[in-house]
Amino acid sequence: MTGAMLPVGGELQGRIHVLPVRVYYEDTDAAGVVYHANYLRFCERGRTEMLRAIGVELGEVQARDNLVFVVHTGEIEWRRPARLDDALTVETALTSLGKASVLMRQVVRRGAQDIVRFNVRVACMDLATSKATPVPDHLRTKFEAFVGEV
Amino acid sequence: MTGAMLPVGGELQGRIHVLPVRVYYEDTDAAGVVYHANYLRFCERGRTEMLRAIGVELGEVQARDNLVFVVHTGEIEWRRPARLDDALTVETALTSLGKASVLMRQVVRRGAQDIVRFNVRVACMDLATSKATPVPDHLRTKFEAFVGEV
Amino acid sequence: MTGAMLPVGGELQGRIHVLPVRVYYEDTDAAGVVYHANYLRFCERGRTEMLRAIGVELGEVQARDNLVFVVHTGEIEWRRPARLDDALTVETALTSLGKASVLMRQVVRRGAQDIVRFNVRVACMDLATSKATPVPDHLRTKFEAFVGEV
Amino acid sequence: MTGAMLPVGGELQGRIHVLPVRVYYEDTDAAGVVYHANYLRFCERGRTEMLRAIGVELGEVQARDNLVFVVHTGEIEWRRPARLDDALTVETALTSLGKASVLMRQVVRRGAQDIVRFNVRVACMDLATSKATPVPDHLRTKFEAFVGEV
């Protein structure tokens, strides 16, 4: 399935969320390819839309619970360059759910090709203290149905 | 019509192109609003998708004709702040077509509210010389059907 | 005077603040030049460092006075492309001081060449109400010594 | 030594390059902290300035040798948040030199505090083929004097 056929915010395909992302000039650099740090922007869009798809709005979480999900550690492979006008997809999966953090696996693809692979631990942080804090139960319940190996 | 109901690359509604844009953390700043320069990124997405909708791929134009469309002058009004998770739209219209440049009018909206207004002259530039150059006929023909006051 | 000889945060040269900015891959795009919206980032660095040079820290203003300076309207000319590794300077001048806003003139240069010219009105906004509010006296006093035609 | 006392492009302190980086609104997000992907921009500035300090200009390498250094794999820890107006430094060290790639260790600091740690393998890529290619001898010679554990 190509990115162009997906809805604007992407969709869940089983436990995996798939988001279409188009490459614009803003994403590229003078080497003619997507600037490496911008894949992390694409991946954040993927995580955000996956959460939205399972009923979690990050802005609401920040406003109501005074907490944010912050990236904590990540391993990233830039495997192939993407280029201007490419229609990419970002695949996002929840691979495990800890007390105060979530492990996610993300792949940026162009059709069948892996462009970037990103394994990231996202921690739940209390905005008042800037400290890690347990994932609240109302979010944990929503996450649980989507956790698993992929 | 809300952004969420539009296709990924937006659509032409008469002569106006409408692109949905979602606000992510990457777009915001520590004042809690969309960072002012990022509206220019949103507007570039709008121009690019309008051109794609009328049959012009910018990457192809650069590769085949060795020319790029570069912003030349702009007037911009930041009228209201947009915020995290907002579903915006970018409206793009071709208001006039010169020998070597195009005038476009763009509005970033949240529902009925104007967030940003941007009037921009985009010049056709020869990559070899970095000089302005006439818009090629095969592009001019495509533009002409969409030029007009809005 | 070249950018390389200036201090990290730039310096006041009479009423004009001059900030050195180096062009990195992050700033460029696939056309091989600085991406147009990034000049607005450079200009914001210039405004911020000018204010710091005259004793105004924006983070402190936000924390203590609960107000931010937000760009309101701007006219921008992209006159020549800048490229990877270019050593640029951003010149910033306060051209007039209103009740609730400040008018600034900024030029991004490469040596003697103008790259971008930006005239921008920056408004003082109350974070609680998102409305324009008078520039507080303790800031106004600091601004007044630097206002003038250039 | 604080960032403010370093020259614009940073300096070598033994084998480690230290670059001052100031945090502006452009770098932050609506959680009030530096947006996670932007540390990779800071790190790229650090790598670029280290290379410049040892006599390697990336734009020149691209133009003359038709090759670019591209990030290949990375491990990143986001340890503490940085905030608006923070004066940070980026420390960059060459930890090992392979046939077609270089391993670098980077730390973004605020005074004595580690903010972000990034271990990154940067590969030498031929722009014509988009394939890895041996680091040319004229660059290898320059790198060798700075390689080592830190």
Domain of A26, in residue numbers: 3-142
A: neighbours with 3+ CB pairs under 8 Å?
B, C, D
Number of Cβ pairs < 8 A linking chain C and chain D? 57
Helix or strand or coil: residue B45?
Answer: helix
Looking at the predicted structure, is the pLDDT value of residue D88 above 70?
Answer: yes
pTM: 0.96
**Is the separation of the CB atoms in A125 and A16 below 8 Å?**
no
**DSSP assignment, residue B97?**
E
| A148 inside domain | no
Contact by Cβ (8 Å): C58, D25: yes
pLDDT confidence of residue D73: 98
Residues on chain C touching D58 (C-beta within 8 angstroms): 25, 84-85
The number of folded domains in chain B is 1
Q: State the smallest CA–CA distance between residue B98 and chain A in angstroms.
A: 23
Answer whether residue D43 shows pLDDT above 60. yes
Q: Is residue A63 part of a domain?
A: yes
Q: How many residues does chain A have?
A: 150
- Between CA B19 and CA D102 the distance in angstroms is 42
Q: Report pLDDT digits (tens) over B9-18.
A: 999 999 999 9
Over the stretch B126-137, which tens digit does the pLDDT of each residue have?
989 989 999 999
Determine the average pLDDT of the residues in C17-44.
97
- Asked if residue D145 belongs to a domain, the reply is no
Residue D149 lies inside a defined structural domain of this protein = no
Query: Within a domain: residue D20?
Result: yes
- Nearest CB to C71 within list B36, B59, B74: B36
Q: What is the ipTM of this complex?
A: 0.94
The pLDDT of residue D1: 45
Q: Best mutation site among B2, B5, B24 for testing chain A: the one with the most A CBs within 10 Å?
A: B24
N residues, chain B: 150
Task: Find the closest chain A residue to C27 by CA distance.
Answer: A29
Q: Is B48 helix (H, G, I), strand (E, B) or coil?
A: helix
- Name the closest residue on chain A to residue B83, using Cα atoms: A59
Interface residues of A toward B, Cβ cutoff 8 Å, are 3-4, 6-9, 20, 22, 24-26, 41, 44-45, 48-49, 57-60, 62, 83-85
Q: How far is CA C9 from CA C5, C25, C46, D26, D28, in A?
A: 11, 21, 9, 16, 18
Q: What is the pLDDT of residue D70?
A: 94
| Assigned domain for B52 exists | yes
* Mean pLDDT rounded to a whole number for chain C: 94
Angstroms from A132 CA to nearest CA on chain B = 19
Q: With contacts defined as CB-CB under 8 Å, which chain B residues touch A64? A: none
Q: What is the CATH number of the domain that holds B12?
A: 3.10.129.10
In a domain, B149, yes or no: no
Q: Is residue A149 a part of any domain in this protein?
A: no
Secondary structure (3-state) at A45: helix
